[in-house]
Amino acid sequence: MGRMTLGPEDRTAAEALDARDPLAFARGRFSVPEGVVYLDGNSLGALPSGVRAAVLDAVDRQWGQDLIGSWNGNGWWTLPERVGDRIGALVGAAPGQTICGDSTSVQLFQALTAAARLRPDRRVLLTDAANFPTDQYLADAVARLLGLEARRVDPAALEVGPDVAVVALSAVDYRTGELWDVEEITRKAHAAGAVVVWDLCHAAGALPVDLDGLGADAAVGCTYKYLNGGPGAPAWLYLPRRHQQAADLPLTGWTGRADPFGLAGAYEPAEGVARARIGTPPVLSMVAVEAALDVWDGVDLAAVRAKSLALGDLLITMADGLREYGLTVVTPRAGARRGSQVSLRHEKAYELGQALITRGVVGDFRAPDLLRLGLAPLYLRYVDVWDAMHALAGILAANEHEAPRYRRDQTAVVT
Ligand SMILES: Cc1ncc(COP(=O)(O)O)c(C=O)c1O
Ligand SMILES: Nc1c(O)cccc1C(=O)C[C@H](N)C(=O)O
């Protein structure tokens, strides 16, 4: 779809786009609260309808009745590989290369350490100065542990010297929504002999990714954003087959050992990606993720991408109409450089976000001045974007956000 010319007066045009949306059916797979326009699926995805029954079954029948027999009888033990493969299918990973478990931060530690150990003669780890804090902290921590130097770079001007062991970046900038040229960066890093670790938190389920085709050396991501696995849902690690044998993973937990129930005193890695298992999987959370992944049945990621960009086009067009109020679009306009969110800059971004919540529109705020609006194409409609931007226009026009109750309380948790 090309650029839109939809004006704030034209809700019927948004309705027409919904009427011919090939993904319209997917909204029925979610429980989205009535009267809420949810633009925060890039932080916590909405609740897929099937999750409740799956978790209740895991609690009442599997845990309550079947008790410990559930590790085998209800497939608890194999959840990390099973769910991992289903996530892998959404990021271009053939089976046997993706494991689900722990947090993104833990998986970053695993991936960065193992990646650096693949290049023992090199001393530098590159990360993005604007990367999500946990990515930067863990790059520093791994560098300290292995005696490397963690260097901050701008992905747009990446240069990879002969001393670089690892290039570790997020595909999408969590603040601006900019999508980096993942193919070109991977190619550049490989040409210089480095390995590449991608953080796909803001890409998995938001746009097509082809990890195998890319030749990525490792990747991580969460499942609580566009994969809708729920609060605190476990993350995932992609470790391609070609590195599995050589990968020296730092967290050698007992469930990643060959024959874990042999209970031997010394570690020996399991075959394949199972070696990336660490401790006991968080069964209830992983059952939720597994059920959440059902929303992808029959969904074409190319259609998800097309709708994500079209929703973004609509949002950007309407935001451009609000320039007179000091609102600017910071997300790149070119579709190829956009993830699945649009970030708007305004000196009162926090207050605007709070006033929007009062009107039933939920986005989020990133300091110091960004209003971040996430676009999850499976459950968002064009009219939702229209209604959100219409509400924003009303707030700005009436100065609603200047009300004292919207002032930022510095002690509040900003989600
Ligand atoms: C790019 C990126 N990496 C990592 C994380 C979070 O890591 P964790 O799942 O360990 O909280 C986030 C968001 O929370 C993120 O946006
Ligand atoms: N993981 C989160 C959490 O536990 C609480 C609040 C927010 C988050 C997030 O996911 C933040 C998110 N990664 C971001 O892009 O800013």
For residue 70, the model assigns a pLDDT of 98
| pLDDT for residue 410 | 56
Q: Is the CB of 204 under 6 A from ligand 1?
A: no
- Its pTM stands at 0.96
Q: Is 282 a known ligand-binding residue?
A: no
- In the chain, the percentage of residues whose pLDDT exceeds 90 is 95
Chain centroid to Cα 61, Å, comes to 32
Q: Residue 215 pLDDT more than 50?
A: yes
CA atoms within 13 Å, Cβ hemisphere of 326: 11
Pocket test for ligand 2, best of 44, 104, 137, 172 (most atoms within 8 A of CB): 44
Query: Given this model, what pLDDT does residue 409 score?
Result: 74
pLDDT tens by residue, 143-196: 999 999 999 999 999 999 999 999 999 999 999 999 999 999 999 999 999 999
Q: What is the dihedral of CA 315, 207, 249, 102, to 10 degrees?
A: 60
Residue 408's pLDDT is what?
83
Checking if the pLDDT of 384 tops 80, the result is: yes
Query: Which ligand neighbours the alpha carbon of 104 most closely?
Result: 1
Q: How confident is the model over 393-408, as pLDDT tens digits?
A: 999 999 999 999 998 8
What is the reported pLDDT for 4? 46
Radius of gyration of the chain (CA): 22
Classify the C-alpha dihedral 95-96-98-101 as positive or negative: positive
> Which residue's CA lies nearest to atom 5 of ligand 2?
415
Distance between CA 44 and CA 339 in Å, rounded?
16
Catalytic residue of the set 30, 174, 224, 382: 224
- Cβ 174 under 6 angstroms from ligand 1: yes
What pLDDT score was predicted for residue 291?
98
Sheet of 164-170: strand order equals 98-100, 236-238, 218-221, 195-199, 164-170, 124-128, 149-153
Over residues 88-113, mean pLDDT: 98
* From 122, 225, 257, 307, the catalytic residue: 225
Q: What is the pLDDT of residue 254?
A: 98
Has residue 411 got a pLDDT over 60? Answer: no
Q: At residue 273, does pLDDT exceed 80?
A: yes
Q: How far is the CA of 91 from the centre of ligand 1 (A)?
A: 17
**Per the annotation, does 104 bind a ligand?**
yes
**pLDDT of amino acid 15:** 97
Closest CA to 206 of 68, 374, 333: 374
Q: Is 109 in the pocket of ligand 2 (CB under 6 A)?
A: no
The mean pLDDT of 13-17, rounded to a whole number, is 96
Supply the mean pLDDT for the chain: 96
Arithmetic mean of pLDDT, 273-290: 98
- pLDDT in the model for residue 6: 54
Residue with token string 């027409």: 16
For 179, what's the count of Cα atoms within 13 Å in the CB-facing half-sphere?
23
Residue range 133-143: average pLDDT? 98
Whether 132 is catalytic: yes
Instruction: Tell whether residue 243 is among the known ligand binding residues.
Output: no
Name all domains of the chain by residue range, CATH numbers in brackets: 11-23+300-406 (3.90.1150.10), 52-296 (3.40.640.10)
- Ranges assigned E (strand) in 154-308: 164-170, 195-199, 218-221, 236-238
What pLDDT was estimated at residue 10?
Answer: 87
Is a pLDDT exceeding 60 seen at residue 2? no
pLDDT of residue 407: 87
SS3 of residue 199 by DSSP:
strand
Q: Please tell me the least confidently modeled range out of 3-17, 35-49, 167-181, 186-200.
A: 3-17
Indicate whether residue 411 lines ligand 2 (CB < 6 A): no
Whether the per-residue pLDDT at 3 is higher than 50: the answer is: no
- Asked if residue 186 belongs to a known ligand binding site, the reply is no
Distance 369 CA to ligand 2 centre (A): 17
In angstroms, the CA 62 to CA 64 distance is 6
- Which one of 30, 109, 132, 350 is the catalytic residue? 132
Whether 188 sits among the annotated catalytic residues: the reply is: no
- Concerning whether 225 is annotated as a catalytic residue, the answer is yes
Calculate mean pLDDT across residues 185-210: 98
Tell me the per-residue pLDDT of 307-347, one tens digit each, with 9 for 90 and over. 999 999 999 999 999 999 999 999 999 999 999 999 999 99
**Taking 50 as the threshold, does the pLDDT of residue 216 lie above it?**
yes
